[in-house]
Structure 1
Amino acid sequence: MQNLTVLGTGVLGSQIAFQAAYNGKDVVAYDLTDEILTKLEARWEYLKPLYLRDLPDATPEKLEAAVDRIRSSSDLADALSDADLVIEAVPEVLEIKRETWAKAGAVAPEKTIFATNSSTLLPSDIADASGRPEKFLALHFANEVWRQNTGEVMGHAGTDPQYADAVAQFAEEIGMVAIRLKKEQPGYIVNSLLVPLLTAASKLYARDVADFKVIDETWRKATGSPYGPFEIYDIVGMLTPYNLNANSQDPEMREFAAILKRDYIDKGRLGRATGKGFYDYE
């Protein structure tokens, strides 16, 4: 599959688009408005030095070639006109994802395979909205995809195995380690392990048990982990945990979401990709 369309150009969507283009794919980056898409140029400039820092084979020439393989569009039919694969990375809200896939399914070519990058929702929650559930599955990326290069491939009961195989091959072609799940699992493997850690840290912070820096330092020192939970939140970005927890059944997680909005999101502290989150980044 050579032609990729990415729906949503936020932190993860833009990373997926750039990683695919860096590995030779032709990419269309779609978002709702041209105003949103004008921010992509700055996003590419942010990613280039990270590739140079982390990947031995990265060169300025290869990075420029990657940018040249990406075009942007706010016209969904245009963005999908020749897509072999669509990867959706819109906000982690079921209604938004289902609406997005209903529109995509109505205009995508017959050949197109559909994949969601949802962190928490199951493919079976969304598949029927696309109109072609047999071609629908999840391909989940970890943040900083060029470095944390896992691609979790998870179908639902109605996914035709040939399309799961094709998506796994695509993941490998763009530098991912394709991880095949045998069945649907909320949170896949990575987030099934990670979310309990982040939840525990969030509750300690919401209860004012300790400052986030102390919580991070405790985790790093005690386990040898390179990142504390709030450093991980900065990598993920503030919007995803806010969207997940704003209407949580757990009052402490709703309180944590309120803290994120009041003290961070409303102040433009959206995470590492924007230069500031819990921590400030140069």
Structure 2
Amino acid sequence: MQKVTVLGSGVLGSQIAFQSAYHGKDVVVRDLDDATLAALPQRWAWLAEQYRRDLPDATDETLDAAIGRIRATSDLADAVGDADLVIEAVPEVLDIKRQTWAAVGEVAPERTIFATNSSTLLPSAIADATGRPERFLALHFANNIWVQNTAEVMGHPGTDRASFDAVAAFAAEIGMVVIPVLKEQPGYVLNSLLVPFLTAASQLYVRGVADVETIDTTWRKATGAPLGPFQIYDVIGMQTPYNLMRTSPDPDLRQFAEVLKRDYIDAGKLGRATGHGFYDYR
């Protein structure tokens, strides 16, 4: 598992790529948009600053070496042509993920193992699109991967054990605490706990019960937690919750998705990584 391809260079995709390279892997990042790829050096510089701040072993030398192990391309065949492992972090929309994996399955080597970083979708909903379902599973990372270093490994009923074990070993090699998920569960362990919490905060907000700062302060002060729910949204970024909530059967959550789109995404306030979300980090 030395040669790793990451599909998608958003918040989590870029973090997965950087963390893998930091731990010595050779990484190719693939994204559709050449302008997005051209901006990746700024993203690597931002991540390097976070590593310097949070990790005692992060030096200019180790960080420069990590960046040197990352290559970016918009060509799918080029990206996956020599990959041991492909990790997908494209938008949280089932059709997009299935289309992506169908294309990958046509050009990736037979040895390649496929992993989705999907936050909520089950691997069994995607696996057949790959053309090799036995080598497909989920590898889910928490945001701020370098310090919130959990990796949930979850197969589907057709995943072979060797692929599961290989992905778990890879996760450990890049500094993760491996969380084996013993059966398919929407949201794994982490998001099965986190999503209801964030959903409750969103409903309090759109129903006018309390504003963002009050909700966050209440949670922090009453529980001793370091972050409130809207601070967590800023860490996650706005795009993933928007994609999840915009088609929700719950009208409150659809309304919250509209707020995210109108007041934050369209305004370029995408969360902490961009300097502004519900809070201003500039």
Shorter-chain TM-score tier: over 0.9
**In the alignment, what sits opposite 2:257?**
257
2:95 is aligned with what amino acid?
E
Q: 1 CA distance for matches of 2:201 and 2:2?
A: 41
**In the alignment, what sits opposite 2:113?**
113
**In the alignment, what sits opposite 1:33?**
33
Structure 1 length as normaliser, TM-score? Answer: 0.99
**In the alignment, what sits opposite 2:48?**
48
**In the alignment, what sits opposite 2:138?**
138
Q: 2 CA distance for matches of 1:199 and 1:173?
A: 34
Q: 1 CA distance for matches of 2:46 and 2:279?
A: 17
Helix, strand or coil for the counterpart of 1:240? helix
1:11 aligns with 2:1: no
1:269 aligns with 2:269: yes
1:34 is aligned with what amino acid?
D
- Counting matched residue pairs gives 282
Q: 1 CA distance for matches of 2:256 and 2:217?
A: 20
1:219 is aligned with what amino acid?
W
Spell out, residue by residue over 1:75-105, the C-alpha distance to the aligned partner (whole angstroms, 9 max, x if none).
0000011100000000000000000000000
**In the alignment, what sits opposite 1:229?**
229
Percent identity of equivalent pairs: 71
TM-fit CA distance, 1:146: 0.3
Structure 2 length as normaliser, TM-score? Answer: 0.99
1:76 is aligned with what amino acid?
L
TM-fit CA distance, 1:262: 1.1
**In the alignment, what sits opposite 1:85?**
85
Helix, strand or coil for the counterpart of 1:6? strand
Helix, strand or coil for the counterpart of 1:147? coil
Helix, strand or coil for the counterpart of 1:264? helix
Q: 2 CA distance for matches of 1:191 and 1:52?
A: 28
**In the alignment, what sits opposite 2:153?**
153
Runs of 5+ unmatched residues, structure 2: none
Spell out, residue by residue over 1:17-52, the C-alpha distance to the aligned partner (whole angstroms, 9 max, x if none).
000000000000000132220111010011111101
**In the alignment, what sits opposite 1:197?**
197
**In the alignment, what sits opposite 1:124?**
124
**In the alignment, what sits opposite 2:64?**
64
**In the alignment, what sits opposite 1:166?**
166
1:205 is aligned with what amino acid?
Y
More deviation, 59-68/34-43: 34-43
TM-fit CA distance, 1:252: 0.5
**In the alignment, what sits opposite 2:75?**
75
Helix, strand or coil for the counterpart of 1:267? coil
Helix, strand or coil for the counterpart of 1:139? strand
Runs of 4+ in structure 1 deviating by more than 2 angstroms, as ranges, are: none
TM-fit CA distance, 1:114: 0.1
TM-fit CA distance, 1:266: 1.1
TM-fit CA distance, 1:176: 0.4
Q: 1 CA distance for matches of 2:112 and 2:43?
A: 27
Mapping 1:204-243, distance limit 5 Å = 204-243=204-243
Spell out, residue by residue over 1:197-230, the C-alpha distance to the aligned partner (whole angstroms, 9 max, x if none).
1000000001011110000000000000000000
Spell out, residue by residue over 1:164-212, the C-alpha distance to the aligned partner (whole angstroms, 9 max, x if none).
0000000000000111011000000000000111000000001011110
TM-fit CA distance, 1:65: 0.3
| RMSD, matched Cα | 0.5
Spell out, residue by residue over 1:110-148, the C-alpha distance to the aligned partner (whole angstroms, 9 max, x if none).
010000000000000100000000000000000000000
1:181 aligns with 2:216: no
